[in-house]
Amino acid sequence: MSNTKELCICGIGPGHPDYILPAVHLEVKAADLLVGARRQLETFQSYAKTDLLFTGKLEQLEQDLDNRDEEKIVVLVSGDTGFHSLRRFLQQAITDRTIRCIPGISSFQYLYAKLGLGYENAFKASLHGTTTQFVSKLNEYESVFLLTDRQNNWKTIAGMLAKSGHSQATMHIGNRLSYPDEQIITATAEQLLQLEFSFSLCAVIIEGVTTQPIQHA
Ligand SMILES: C[S@@+](CC[C@H](N)C(=O)[O-])C[C@H]1O[C@@H](n2cnc3c(N)ncnc32)[C@H](O)[C@@H]1O
C-alpha cells in the first residue's frame, strides 16, 4: 500500500532564483510545510508557507520530520537532488512517506557551462565534509570536479596538486556561482598558491595546463 503523505525533495540550483525550475515552484506552491536552510527558505518567502529551518543537524531534522502531520512536505536542497544532497539521508530516514525528487541545476553543470566545457569525461566528487582521493583521477579523466568546504577549500586542493607533482594543472575556481557577485578564477595550482581570496561557497574544476591566470567576466 502506498503512503498518502509525501515528501518532495526539490533541487533549487546554485542560488540565483533564475536557475530554479518552474516545476519546483509548483511543488512549493502546493506544499503544506517547507523545509530548508535559511537562504533557501528566503528564496520562497513570497509563498508565505509554514516552514521548518534545517540547521545542518541530520538527527534533529529526522526528529522534526517524524512529528509532522502535514500531507505534503517539500525539502529544498541546493543544486541537484542527485549530487551530494540530503536525498540519500531522507530516503533512508523517512519511511512513512512517499518520496519524490524534482531535479535542479547542479553547481557542476553551472560551472562547466560557464566555462564552455563538457563533463562527459569528468570525475565528480565532494570534499564537503569528507575526503576523496582525486589526484589519481587526473590521469584517468579529462577533468575533475570537486565540491569544497571551509577546511577542504581551493587552497587545500592547490596544495595537494603541487605536492603530487601537478603544480601546472589548471584550476577553475567558481565562487558564489549564479549570484550577482559570482567570481570565476582560472590559474595553475602553482599560481594559486601565491594568491589570497576569501571564497565562501566554492566549487573547483581541475584540468590540463595553463600559462596565465584568467579572471572571467
Ligand atoms: C552540500 S553540497 C551540495 C551540492 C549540490 N547538490 C549540487 O548539485 O551542486 C554544497 C557544496 O556545493 C557547492 N556549491 C553549491 N552552490 C554553489 C554556488 N552557488 N557556488 C559555488 N559552489 C556551490 C559548494 O562546494 C558547496 O560547499
pLDDT at 56 over 70: yes
Q: How many CA atoms lie within 13 A of 86 on its CB side?
A: 28
- Domain count for the chain, please give it: 2
- Residue whose C-alpha cell reads 545542518 in the numeric block: 56
Q: 83 CA distance to ligand 1 centroid (A)?
A: 9
pLDDT, one tens digit per residue, over 156-213 is 999 999 999 999 999 999 999 999 999 999 999 999 999 988 888 999 999 965 455 6
**Residue 157 · residue 145 · CB < 8 Å:** no
pLDDT of residue 130: 74
CA distance 6 to 154: 38
For residues 91 and 134, membership in a common domain is answered with: no
pLDDT of residue 153: 94
- CA-proximal residue: ligand 1, atom 11 (nearest): 147
For residues 114 and 174, membership in a common domain is answered with: yes
For residues 157 and 200, membership in a common domain is answered with: yes
Looking at 81, 105, 129, the residue that finishes a domain is 105
Looking at 55, 84, 105, the residue that finishes a domain is 105
Q: 214 CA distance to ligand 1 centroid (A)?
A: 22
For residues 135 and 203, membership in a common domain is answered with: yes
For residues 82 and 145, membership in a common domain is answered with: no
pLDDT at 217 over 80: no
pLDDT at 44 over 90: yes
CA distance 52 to 39: 12
In the chain, the DSSP E strands lie at 6-11, 33-36, 51-53, 72-77, 98-102, 122-126, 143-147, 169-175, 183-188, 202-209, 214-215
Q: Please report, for the domain that includes residue 161, its CATH number.
A: 3.30.950.10
Q: Which domain holds residue 211?
A: 108-215
For residues 168 and 207, membership in a common domain is answered with: yes
Q: 91 CA distance to ligand 1 centroid (A)?
A: 20
Q: What is the dihedral of CA 111, 112, 113, 117, to 10 degrees?
A: 150
For residues 89 and 116, membership in a common domain is answered with: no
pLDDT of residue 212: 56
Domain presence at residue 1 = no
Looking at 105, 122, 137, the residue that finishes a domain is 105
